[in-house]
Amino acid sequence: MKHHEVEILDAKTREKLCFLDKVEPHATIADIKNMFTKSHPQWYPARQSLRLDPKGRSLKDEDILQNLPVGTTATLYFRDLGAQISWVTVFLTEYAGPLVIYLLFYFRVPFIYGPKYDFITSRHSVVHLACICHSFHYIKRLLETLFVHRFSHGTMPFRNIFKNCMYYWGFAAWMAYYINHPLYTPPTYGENQVKLAVIIFLFCQLGNFSIHIALRNLRPAGSKTRKIPFPTRNPFTWLFLLVSCPNYTYEVGSWIGFAIMTQCLPVALFTLVGFIQMTIWAKGKHRSYLKEFRDYPPLRSPIVPFIL
């Protein structure tokens, strides 16, 4: 069995960073990253992007050396992705923040609304219901992060956590300030509006959870296998018949329900911004499905059936 030689150059300067001798043909890119780390420990595998062309796409960790268009001497180009942080840590930080921040406004801790309102609860039942729903949503997200989600990518750039937290934490504070404000007024149509909103919210929360379970079951633990998601016996998953990313559809539906319940402008704006971002993600995933699977169901839309 012939061994390969692998030289790793800096993608920007073309400086030779490492030369690996006697690399087995069936070695993966992940194996090569681990070898590279031994000579350059400051660049742990998650920071590394290895590619065949300096401006090309990053090779996947599971790519096998002998299957790449290279000879017995392979040249790979390295880019530093920067400090990385695990997706689990990112999600836990993103979701724990809104949970705590909202409760600070709900309990009216000092220095928010003025001394005479410190620790005084609202007299409106919808305010208490909104707190329960908001807390339920983020507790659900935290538990899903720990026990349900399986991530195809283990890490993300550390710098992104600040941007993500500003979005989630900032909107949580803005919404909570108005919903728990001493001058807050209940929805225009009273209990009927609130009851309808709670039904929408809970229905979509159950739907979102059902989709996450279905997606989890598609990918065995420790695997990066990708399959076409299809409806299961759970009726909430039947939305897969019409859209590629029903988890986003249900997520937007939950916030629409919360906006109807609270009749609060910041909630409506958060819902709109979230819908725009999730539409971008859904379109990207939809294109990826179409490109990867020739037999992908043609009836599906990215996020809104027949429309978007």
Query: pLDDT of 53-74, one tens digit each?
Result: 888 888 888 888 888 888 788 8
pLDDT of 1: 56
Domain chopping of the chain, boundaries: 4-82, 85-292
Exposure string over 255-283, b if 16+ CB within 10 A, otherwise e: bbbbbbbbbbebbbebbeebbeebbeebb
pLDDT of 62: 83
Query: What percent of the chain has a predicted confidence (pLDDT) above 70?
Result: 98
Positions of the chain with pLDDT under 50: none
Closest CA to 204 of 151, 132, 276, 252: 252
pLDDT of 222: 63
pLDDT of 223: 66
CB atoms within 10 A of CB 67: 10
CA gap 111, 105 in Å, rounded: 10
User: Residue 229: how many CA atoms within 13 Å on its side-chain side?
Assistant: 27
CA 92 to centroid of chain Cα atoms: 11
pLDDT of 87: 87
This prediction has a pTM of 0.86
**Lateral strand order in the sheet of 73-80:** 16-23, 4-10, 73-80, 48-51
Query: Which class in CATH covers the domain with range 4-82?
Result: alpha beta
CA gap 271, 257 in Å, rounded: 10
